[in-house]
């Protein structure tokens, strides 16, 4: 962006993509994706919008933890709760050498310093696990005495002399009331020595009522809160250099009357105590009037890999957005310290009133967009407008391929626009009209395929398994693709194979046979159908289908086909994914070629 600021349209784009991500997590049936597949074949409105590539990087940066745009609207700090004692970790992340005996993790207390504060500290497995002897578990009650602002907890690291790569585990804070604390002390393996020393008695010797009464006299749990840094990530690594320092993102968005927390990351090493100086300047914001302080330093202790620069934003009652830039001072850094690509970041201050207005407008616009991508239209006019327009009139989403497909499918789109909208008569009118249209198109496609087969010298059976089958199955192909992209599982993507073909076989063949049998019986005759080469075709199809199912089972249970930990029918390893796809196409070609050779007498039937 030109000025590292976010426009209203860009924020709207981010909101839409976020809703799309949530939209994808909702369960959908196969019909939903079949409609989407047909739309993509005909250049119609996408059920999943395609976002402008201009904003794709910005959107991804805004929705991930490690990219380049973020908002500080959700921070909880002492400015909001001055009456409470707020406890949090000093740093967001830290690292430790595997050969080290332990790691010390600092906790800080801000806000109300006149009261005691009690928190529980507990470790949780990540890729580093207690069961694998990577570290010793910790579950401890930590007590902050009045005016005590810092405590440290120690976690023992186990060096097993086995290469495992970098591993992580977590240390988390939580607060309980007196009753819950009593239960924890009695039922769990927790270090309660600090609270017993502070209270002056053995907690396990008291009843529930006695414990709650005596603890309640000394500690007010309602005045204890956790800050936003309540989960600390620890990386066990083998590294011994100071590291590379950089801002986490190119820009931050904050509101007035809050504390901007600007993350600085330390990578490629975390050895020693490092102090990085920073300064804030530039833009149209005024130091000490719109924000403070305008300079300072951030201290990374040994092993800490992510910390925040904290700048207080002042509410100046000015509705105009303001911005300034924060720089890391490379010249005053210590020996061996390196800096990454992002050594400066823009801070944009958004007015509280403006932010509420923007959010309201975004919600209205996104609501309109969600209504716009609904599966059905409510009037005939909307259907014809959609039929005449590429991607339903949203030209900004259209690609060259969309225009080509729209041109080729235009007659069919206009023809089916005559089907009454589903909102009429509860959808029954649209249902029967669509059946008539499908019958018309099926007849037309079948006749055209037969004519094409005759002109090219192909037998009817060969024409049926090539032109006709391919033409009628294309919607299934596109529907499977839509389901694969839009679902978290492969159920709808693969399930349409059995669902669609069951209709084709049992209903598509069974219903005409039933009608023909009833007709001939009513005339006093019988309805006989010669099998021909059906046995060869069925056996060949059974073999290829069995190989397909075997491949799917292998992909499900062999981790190499997935993410290395578990398999999966779709996605996974790129090379194996392509090999699987080529194998599937090979099975289809094998069926076509052998069936054609048998039809022309080059391969004996049975």
- Tell me which DSSP letter residue 96 carries: E
Q: Are 248 and 299 in contact (CB under 8 A)?
A: no
Helices (H), 25-86: 30-42, 56-63
Q: Which residues pair with 296 in a beta bridge?
A: 278
pTM: 0.41
Task: Sketch the domain layout of the chain as residue ranges.
Answer: 50-76+242-372, 81-238, 494-599
Q: Is the pLDDT of residue 503 over 90?
A: no
Cα–Cα distance, 304 to 501 (Å, whole number): 58
- CA terminus-to-terminus distance, the chain: 70
Model confidence pLDDT, tens digit, residues 431-455? 888 888 888 887 887 777 778 778 8
Per the document, the length of the chain is 606
Q: Is the pLDDT of residue 26 over 60?
A: no
Tell me the CA distances in angstroms from 63 to 20, 358, 523, one per residue in order: 12, 18, 70
pLDDT bracket for residue 263 (50, 70, 90):
very high
Q: Is the pLDDT of residue 61 over 80?
A: no
Whole-number average pLDDT of the chain: 78
Average the pLDDT over each of 9-18, 193-202, 399-408, 565-574 and give the range with the smallest value: 9-18
Predicted local distance difference test score (pLDDT) of residue 361:
57
Q: Is the pLDDT of residue 104 over 50?
A: yes
Cα–Cα distance, 243 to 269 (Å, whole number): 4
CATH topology of domain 81-238: Immunoglobulin-like (2.60.40)
Element (H, E) at 292: strand 291-292
Q: Is the pLDDT of residue 535 over 70?
A: yes
Residue 101's contacts (CB-CB under 8 Å, 6 or more residues apart) are 156, 157
- Helix or strand or coil: residue 140? strand
CATH class of 50-76+242-372: mainly beta
Task: Confirm whether 50-76+242-372 and 81-238 share one CATH topology.
Answer: yes
């Amino acid at each position: 962006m030109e000025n590292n600021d976010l426009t209203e349209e860009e924020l709207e784009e981010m909101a839409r993509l976020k809703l799309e991500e949530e939209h994808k997590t909702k369960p959908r049936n196969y019909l939903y994706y079949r409609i989407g597949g047909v739309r993509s074949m005909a250049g119609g409105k996408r059920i999943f919008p395609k976002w402008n590539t201009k904003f794709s990087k910005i959107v991804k940066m805004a929705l991930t933890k490690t990219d380049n745009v973020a908002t500080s609207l959700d921070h909880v700090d002492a400015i909001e709760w001055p009456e409470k004692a707020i406890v949090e970790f000093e740093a967001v992340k830290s690292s430790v050498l595997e050969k080290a005996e332990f790691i010390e993790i600092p906790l800080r207390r801000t806000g109300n310093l006149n009261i005691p504060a009690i928190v529980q500290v507990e470790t949780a497995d990540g890729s580093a696990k207690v069961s694998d002897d990577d570290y010793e578990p910790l579950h401890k009650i930590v007590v902050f005495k009045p005016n005590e602002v810092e405590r440290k907890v120690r976690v023992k690291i186990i060096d097993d002399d086995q290469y495992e790569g970098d591993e992580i585990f977590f240390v988390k804070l939580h607060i309980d009331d007196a009753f819950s604390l009593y239960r924890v002390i009695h039922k769990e393996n927790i270090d309660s020595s600090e609270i017993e020393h502070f209270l002056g008695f053995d907690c396990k010797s008291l009843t529930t009522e006695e414990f709650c009464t005596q603890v309640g006299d000394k500690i007010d749990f309602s005045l204890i809160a956790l800050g936003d840094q309540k989960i600390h990530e620890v990386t066990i690594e083998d590294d011994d250099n100071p590291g590379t320092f950089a801002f986490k993102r190119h820009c931050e968005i904050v509101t007035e009357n809050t504390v901007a927390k600007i993350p600085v990351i330390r990578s490629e090493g975390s050895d020693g105590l490092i102090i990085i100086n920073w300064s804030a300047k530039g833009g149209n914001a005024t130091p000490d009037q719109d924000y403070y302080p305008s300079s300072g330093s951030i201290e990374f202790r040994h092993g800490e890999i992510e910390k925040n620069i904290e700048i207080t934003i002042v509410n100046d009652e000015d509705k105009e957005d303001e911005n300034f830039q924060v720089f890391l001072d490379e010249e005053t850094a210590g020996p061996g310290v390196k800096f990454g690509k992002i050594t400066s970041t823009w801070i944009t201050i958004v007015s509280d009133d403006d932010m509420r207005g923007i959010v309201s407008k975004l919600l209205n616009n996104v609501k309109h967009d969600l209504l716009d991508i609904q599966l059905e239209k409510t009037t005939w006019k909307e259907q014809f407008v959609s039929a005449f327009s590429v991607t339903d009139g949203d030209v900004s989403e259209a690609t060259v391929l969309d225009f080509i497909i729209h041109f080729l499918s235009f007659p069919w789109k206009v023809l089916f626009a005559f089907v009454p909208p589903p909102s009429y008569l509860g959808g029954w009118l649209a249902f029967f009209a669509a059946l008539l249209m499908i019958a018309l198109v099926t007849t037309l496609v079948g006749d055209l395929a037969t004519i094409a087969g005759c002109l090219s010298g192909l037998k009817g059976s060969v024409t049926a398994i090539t032109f006709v089958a391919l033409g009628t199955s294309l919607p299934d192909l596109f529907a499977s693709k839509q389901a694969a992209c839009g679902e978290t599982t492969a159920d709808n993507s693969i399930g349409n194979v059995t669902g669609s073909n069951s209709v084709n076989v049992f209903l598509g063949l069974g219903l005409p046979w039933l009608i023909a049998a009833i007709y001939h019986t009513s005339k006093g005759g019988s309805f006989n159908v010669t099998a021909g080469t059906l046995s060869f075709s069925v056996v060949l199809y059974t073999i290829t289908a069995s190989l397909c199912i075997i491949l799917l089972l292998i992909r499900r249970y062999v981790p190499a086909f997935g993410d290395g930990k578990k398999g999966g029918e779709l996605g996974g390893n790129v090379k194996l994914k392509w090999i699987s796809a080529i194998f599937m196409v090979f099975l289809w070609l094998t069926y076509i070629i052998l069936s054609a050779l048998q039809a022309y007498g080059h391969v004996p039937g049975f």
